[in-house]
Amino acid sequence: MDIIHAAVLGILQGLTEILPISSSAHLILVPWLLGWPESGLTFDVGLHVGTLLALCVYFRRDIAYLTSDAVTGLREGFGSQTSRLPFFIIAGTVPAAIVGKTLEKPIEEFFRGSPTLIAVLLIAFGLLLALSDTIGSKRWRMDRVDLRCALLIGLAQCLALIPGVSRSGITITAALFLGFTRDTAARFSFLLSLPIVAGAGILKMGELARNGIPAGELAPLLVGITTSAVSGYLGVVLLLKLVQRYSLYPFVWYRLLAGGAVLAYLFAR
């Protein structure tokens, strides 16, 4: 992989992993449309590390508070909602971790050769996001998150393994249907994704450590980490500003246009 490909895919990963528009769909469809080769394990590690860095830097205070609250809960009991929240987040990651460990590779192999289905899912889950943003009551904030909500949103996160769904998109959708505000839905989505993104990165780094970095891939790896981290951070800023002031419809329209454009291209061929 050359530096330009690495930079483009890094920017794509950073933005699309954060925004509710499906990173896996873009990382499959864009190289397919441009005729680029598959990125390989080394670059996958770089993309995951970059995204994790972006999330950890932006939510560093939240992570510090959650860690402190977890320690307080273990020492003094779980009498407050804040002391329980870190464990709700952990519980919410369990379903996706189990499903991801067992089904990630078969799902990826199946959908990688089906751009039509990916385009349809971009549209379908975009419409579902629009429905949740329209009919959700948007009453509850983070202090109303309980174990039931965390598990329901965590179960929804399992669908993110399917290209075209989007991890942030499906968890925000689930949170909106449960009555949370847009800002709370987005923030909880990001906090819920941290253990999953970290776990995926650690597993892939383990594979990379066993196989080693192939000759000539160190530079693209560093470019991928840097570009995905920077674009991921900007993606978090953009999404949280939009949900605080406006709505999620810009992402809905993007999903409809992107999915429609891919279907039109396939039909024209």
For residue range 110-121, list pLDDT tens digits in order: 887 899 999 999
pTM above 0.85, yes or no: yes
23, 101, 113, 220 from 106: Cα distances, Å: 18, 11, 12, 27
Q: Which residue has the higher pLDDT, 47 or 176?
A: 176
Task: Supply 269's token pair.
Answer: 């061929």
149, 150, 135, 147: which is closest to 195 by C-alpha? 150
129, 205, 116, 203: which is closest to 160 by C-alpha? 129
11, 54, 183, 189 from 59: Cα distances, Å: 20, 8, 14, 12
Mean local confidence (pLDDT), 60-67: 95
Q: What is the pLDDT of residue 200?
A: 78
Q: What is the pLDDT of residue 36?
A: 86
Of the pLDDT bands very low, low, confident and very high (cuts 50, 70, 90), residue 188 is: very high
Q: What is the pLDDT of residue 230?
A: 96
Q: What is the mean pLDDT of the chain?
A: 91
Instruction: Name, in order, each residue with C-beta under 8 angstroms of 186's C-beta and a sequence gap of 6 or more.
Output: 168, 172, 239, 240, 243
Query: CA-CA distance, 184 to 118, in Å (whole number)?
Result: 28
**What DSSP character marks residue 202?**
H
Q: What is the pLDDT of residue 242?
A: 93
Task: Supply 238's token pair.
Answer: 């953009």
Cβ–Cβ < 8 Å for 51, 232: yes
Greatest mean pLDDT among 22-26, 78-82, 102-106, 213-217: 22-26
Q: Which residue has the higher pLDDT, 266 or 110?
A: 266
pLDDT at residue 206 greater than cutoff 90:
no
Query: CA-CA distance, 205 to 201, in Å (whole number)?
Result: 6
